Structure 1
Amino acid sequence: MPFQKLLYPAAGLGLLFLAYRSFGWPGVAAVGGGLTMWLLLHFTRVMTVLKRAADRPIGYVDSAVMLNAKLKPGSTLMHVMAMTRSLGERLSADNVQPEVYRWRDNGDSTVTADFQDGKLVRWKLDRPAAAEASETAGPTP
């Protein structure tokens, strides 16, 4: 189990304890309200990303090359979905690590990304051979 899954609840309980020790029940109410607001903001962000992704085809991205340039190791799957505004096409089996997703653009270029425990560990850009040949040939007279 990742350490963060235990850290956030423990930090919340610690803040509530400190608020009670310092200010009594009004402090607990203030910290509880702040924690509730944080949870609601996180929930709203997740729902917004999923709503945008629901309006597009699965595994589609406007430009696979631009997605490849924007990806960074350690990015979450939710962050990548927010960048692409679509759900990735899942290539791995359920409950198997690493999770492998692919996004494709109109030119058949693809980005295949591997996520270990929800974090991006590696990705690969694949471009069709016709596009690579036309780029290396240069302009035609």
Structure 2
Amino acid sequence: MNFQRIFIPVAGVAAVVLAYRFYGWAGVAASTAGLMMWMLLHFTRMMQVLKRATDRPIGYVDSAVMLNAKLKPGMTLMHVVAMTHALGELQSPMNTQPEIFRWTDGSQSSVACTFAGGKLVQHELSRPSS
């Protein structure tokens, strides 16, 4: 189960309740402003990553070998898209778990990444035989 889906909203509500308990309505206003700023920062980062990805072909990466070296299990799909500056080419059927995306470079080397719940589970480098 993904505890972030539960923990983050509960922590936000707890912050507002504690702010009211200790500082009254001024605390509620300050904690709500802080939570809104945090959400806007995440939204802005996501928009920047997707804006950069629009300028590149789907599934293209400069170096598949370097991407493979930088990948670690547990990375989010958004983090991988930020590293590659391109959306991955979907290899699995739409709306099924796990999702498999592939990035290919100019030498036809490719990295296939498997994501379960938005987190990287495994990745595999494929190089053309010469």
My pick for the range that moved more, 2-11 or 66-75, is 2-11
Residues 58-111 of structure 1, C-alpha deviations (whole Å, 9 max, x = no match): 000000000000000000000000000000000111221110000000000000
Aligned-pair identity in percent equals 62
> Which residue identity does 1:21 align to in structure 2?
R
| 2:29 is equivalent to residue 15 of structure 1 | no
Structure 1: state its 5+ residue gaps.
131-141
Tell me how many residue pairs correspond in the alignment: 130
| 2:93 is equivalent to residue 93 of structure 1 | yes
What residue number does 1:37 align with?
37
After the TM superposition, which residues 1-141 of structure 1 pair with which residues of structure 2 at under 5 Å, given as runs?
Answer: 2-130=2-130
Tell me the TM-score normalised to structure 1 length.
0.91
Q: Structure 1: which 4+ aligned runs deviate by more than 2 Å?
A: none
> Which residue identity does 1:47 align to in structure 2?
M
What residue number does 1:133 align with?
none
CA distance in 1, matches of 2:3, 2:94: 23
Shift of 1:124: 0.3
Q: Which has the larger radius of gyration?
A: 1
